[in-house]
Chains A and B, each alone.
Chain A
Amino acid sequence: MAMLYTVNKSPLERNALESCLRHATVGTAILLIEDGVYGAMAQTAFTPALEQALQKLHIYALKPDIEARGIQDKILPGIALVDYGGFVDLVAQHSPVMAWL
């Protein structure tokens, strides 16, 4: 079964997402939550790294956190948005689940 990583930090402040991507094997799912959703934005300094990651990983972002931060129109295409129920489904479909804090 593929694993699920959650990341809750902006990639421009901490290295959690960068480190997470370095430890993501092909097919791993990554869910960006809380400040981690800033990592889902297009046209940031981190966007090229994310575009590259999208080639081999499934990347999701938590929609309530995107809306709370006002970045709903700036999300990179290819990133799937989920609500809290979708978060639960991702956890049920993957194992293990690890939080990159």
Chain B
Amino acid sequence: MKFTVLVNEGPYTHQASDTAFHFTKAALEKGHHVLRVFFYHDGVLNATALSVPPRDDRDVVKRWSTLAQQYQLDLVACIAAAERRGILDSEDAKRHGLEMDNLAPRFRISGLGQLVEAAIQADRVVVFGD
């Protein structure tokens, strides 16, 4: 079955990103196809490369990147939500005249249309938020 997952909250403050991760991982392990994990609202903060959690805690950002690498998972952060909250890929940074970018590995930034398109193609859409 084809799933699309929407994550509306950032890491650590809310449990939503943790639950979304465990759900996505379980779906992939069961052989389902996850078309896309889309990050919206504060969910785009899951895509920061600058998160440095203490060693005795989980690394939420890296965990998403690793899962994406393992399953060729498409992780997409909404561009409008991301720019507003200071998450930029190198192209966005250049366009806005900024010298640094901070998008974590295996994430990409794109428009909300990517969520709608994935929702149209999926058999199920599951939302995680607060």
Residue of B nearest to A89 (CB): B30
Which residues of B21-65 have CB atoms within 8 Å of chain A's CB atoms? 22-23, 25-27, 29-30, 32
For A98, list chain B residues within 8 Å (CB).
Answer: 127
Q: Tell me whether A84 and B127 are in contact (CB under 8 A).
A: no
Given contacts A87-B26, A101-B130, contact A33 B124 (CB under 8 A): no
0/1 per residue, A71-101, Cβ < 8 Å to B?
0000000000001110111011001111101
Q: How far is the CA of A87 from the CA of B127 in the complex (A)?
A: 13
0/1 per residue, A43-70, Cβ < 8 Å to B?
0000000000000000000101000000
Given contacts A8-B16, A33-B19, contact A85 B126 (CB under 8 A): no
Q: How far is the CA of A81 from the CA of B22 in the complex (A)?
A: 16
Q: Tell me whether B1 and A92 are in contact (CB under 8 A).
A: yes
Q: Does A34 contact B (CB under 8 A)?
A: yes
Q: How far is the CA of A83 from the CA of B123 in the complex (A)?
A: 21
0/1 per residue, A10-28, Cβ < 8 Å to B?
0000000000000000000
For A8, list chain B residues within 8 Å (CB).
Answer: 15-16, 19, 130
Apart from A85-B29, A91-B126, list 13 A-B contacts with CB within 8 A.
A6-B126, A34-B15, A34-B19, A84-B23, A91-B3, A91-B124, A92-B32, A95-B123, A96-B125, A97-B124, A99-B128, A101-B8, A101-B127
B residues in contact (CB < 8 Å) with A: 1, 3, 8, 15-16, 19, 22-23, 25-27, 29-30, 32, 123-130
